[in-house]
Amino acid sequence: AMPAVIIMTIWKQVGFTMVIFLTALLQVPDQYLEAADIEGAGELRKWWYITLPLIKPITMLVVIIQIIVSFQVFIQVFIMTGGGPGNTTRTLVQYIYEKGFVYWAMGHAAAMSVLLFIAILFMTLIQFRYFGGSYKG
């Protein structure tokens, strides 16, 4: 059941990611690519030294959004499997939902939600440090 949930989640997110990257690629100035052509740079060098550095902030944004989305997978599991069979597809967000709204343990659910927020914040800060965190363009 988990491969079906994974495929559905990827299918749901790939369109958004493609639109964001396509927009970023369209924003790369043609002058840079033309200058690289004049200097004799190949397609791989243009991609590596011009396009990739210019879309680095967008890449960081997409990675952060996808990390947040991956931690918040709920509706796919809730609709497709309900966490089963045998809780094999239950996600953290679904567990928080069950704790809060099925078992009425709101304190536990709130505490787990705060811990989830801290984990996502920590991952985001790591991404900022890894990708440089600042953009001067």
Say what the pTM is. 0.73
CATH superfamily of 2-131: MetI-like (1.10.3720.10)
Q: What is the pLDDT of residue 137?
A: 46
CA distance 4 to 77: 9
Contacts of residue 120, Cβ cutoff 8 Å, sequence gap at least 6 = 67, 68, 71
Q: What is the pLDDT of residue 133?
A: 57
CA distance 79 to 86: 16
- Tell me: the pLDDT tens digits for 65-122? 888 888 888 888 888 887 778 777 888 888 999 999 999 999 999 999 999 999 989 9
- Domain ranges for the chain, please list them: 2-131
